């Protein structure tokens, strides 16, 4: 299972939010490019970059620094946050992003999602963010009547090649994943799923791997030292792959 460090950007700085709350922010670096380089040097094989301002405003707000970050690295970068039109999607992919992540747009603009998948295929990832199993959009400020598993099943039928499933109530809390919910999602969705939200230990990562998650995105646990990244890489490299699950 791949371990993907998160670089969340707000106001040009690298930050972490507690449960997505913009009023509960911790700054971990003034230069996201330098932070990204440090994860690459530590052995990361991919980074997850989120434009938090973009997610809230509905359009890219930190595009300049994200483009510099992409161009400064040799590892793949997946980018999300405010990508709600073709121009924004195409711009990051042309800059060199390996994948772009669609969240609100995947729920509210099915035609855009269909066009993006038709054009870019595996480079499109859909983020499904859930509170108590129900999907939240608009930077987690708006809840929908859709369950995460239901939405993901419907989107698989429409050609979505990969998901990021985030437990919004656990994100940034170091409480550990809701493994029952993760298992239920993985059992229903027949494409690769990346998990995010509340990972607090290497044991959490081992269990996610055993359930069949393709990867885990980690932020707070890495930045606070709760998880030693290089030790986690060693442990996960020895963990057996489950019979079911996706490692594409």
User: Which positions are annotated as active-site residues?
Assistant: 8, 129
Distances (CA, A) of 176 to 72, 122, 185, 207: 32, 29, 16, 11
**Rounded to an integer, what is the distance from CA 202 to the centroid of its chain?**
18
> For residue 210, which of 229, 238, 175, 172 has the smallest C-alpha distance?
238
The dihedral region occupied by 120, where left means phi > 0, alpha psi between -120 and 50, and beta the remainder, is: alpha
Q: What is the DSSP string of 64-129?
A: HHHHHHHHH-SS-EEEESS--SHHHHHHHHHHT-SEEEESHHHHH-HHHHHHHHHHHGGGEEEEEE
């Amino acid at each position: 299972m791949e371990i993907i460090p998160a670089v969340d950007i707000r106001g040009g700085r690298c930050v972490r939010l507690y449960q997505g709350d913009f009023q509960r922010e911790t700054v971990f670096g003034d230069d996201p490019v330098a932070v990204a380089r440090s994860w690459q040097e530590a052995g990361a094989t991919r980074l997850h970059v989120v434009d938090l301002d973009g997610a809230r405003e509905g359009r890219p707000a930190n595009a300049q620094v994200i483009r510099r970050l992409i161009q400064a690295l040799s590892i793949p970068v997946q980018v999300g946050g405010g990508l709600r039109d073709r121009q924004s999607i195409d711009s990051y992919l042309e800059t060199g992003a390996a994948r772009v992540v669609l969240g609100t747009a995947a729920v509210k603009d099915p035609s855009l999602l269909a066009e993006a998948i038709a054009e870019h295929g595996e480079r499109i990832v859909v983020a499904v963010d859930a509170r108590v199993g129900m999907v939240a959009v608009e930077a987690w400020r708006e809840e929908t009547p859709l369950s995460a598993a239901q939405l993901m099943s419907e989107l698989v039928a429409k050609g979505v090649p990969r998901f990021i499933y985030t437990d919004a109530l656990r994100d940034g809390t170091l409480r550990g994943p809701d493994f029952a919910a993760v298992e239920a999602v993985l059992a229903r969705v027949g494409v690769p799923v990346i998990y995010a939200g509340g990972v607090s230990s290497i044991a959490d990562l081992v269990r996610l791997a055993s359930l069949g998650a393709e990867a885990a995105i980690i932020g707070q646990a890495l930045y606070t030292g709760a998880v030693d990244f290089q030790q986690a890489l060693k442990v996960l490299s020895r963990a057996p792959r489950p019979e079911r699950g996706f490692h594409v």
